[in-house]
């Protein structure tokens, strides 16, 4: 698969995952709530996947920009959950869980980027 096609595919996957995250965060009774999985684990899983997909789909973007953008999305979700009609509970701890997952994944990805970059410099003539 060509690089441009792969990046487009990854970008589509990112936007689909973001859309699913937003829907699940804003519907009054999300289907995953019935599974009994801890709310913080759900937040961390969603934002870990979003972080990985963002890093893969937008490889030239600075990690700080990815972090700030994803953290803002997590914050926006918590603000929107304050809307009474949604019957959801906003919690700053959910946003902190989002940010921890984002930082962990992007930190790992940044480490990979650094290692791969070092290897490319060492193998250059």
Q: Where are the domains of the chain?
A: 3-123
Token duo for residue 9:
């595919």
Which tens digit of pLDDT belongs to each residue from 59-71? 999 999 999 999 9
- 3 state DSSP class of 36: coil
Looking at residue 7, what is its pLDDT? Answer: 93
Which tens digit of pLDDT belongs to each residue from 29-59? 777 655 666 888 989 999 999 999 999 999 9
d(CA 87, CA 85): 6
Which tens digit of pLDDT belongs to each residue from 71-108? 999 999 999 999 999 888 899 999 999 999 999 999 99
pTM (predicted TM-score): 0.87
């Amino acid at each position: 698969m060509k690089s441009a096609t792969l990046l487009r595919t990854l970008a589509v996957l990112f936007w689909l995952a973001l859309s699913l995250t937003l829907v699940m965060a804003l519907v009054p009774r999300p289907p995953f709530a019935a599974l009994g999985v801890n709310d913080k684990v759900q937040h961390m899983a969603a934002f870990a996947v979003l972080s990985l997909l963002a890093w893969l789909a937008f490889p030239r973007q600075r990690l700080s920009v990815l972090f700030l953008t994803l953290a803002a999305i997590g914050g926006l979700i918590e603000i929107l959950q304050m809307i009474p009609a949604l019957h959801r509970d906003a919690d700053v701890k959910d946003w902190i869980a989002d940010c921890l997952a984002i930082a962990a994944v992007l930190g790992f990805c940044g480490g990979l980027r650094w290692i791969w970059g070092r290897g490319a410099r060492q193998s250059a003539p």
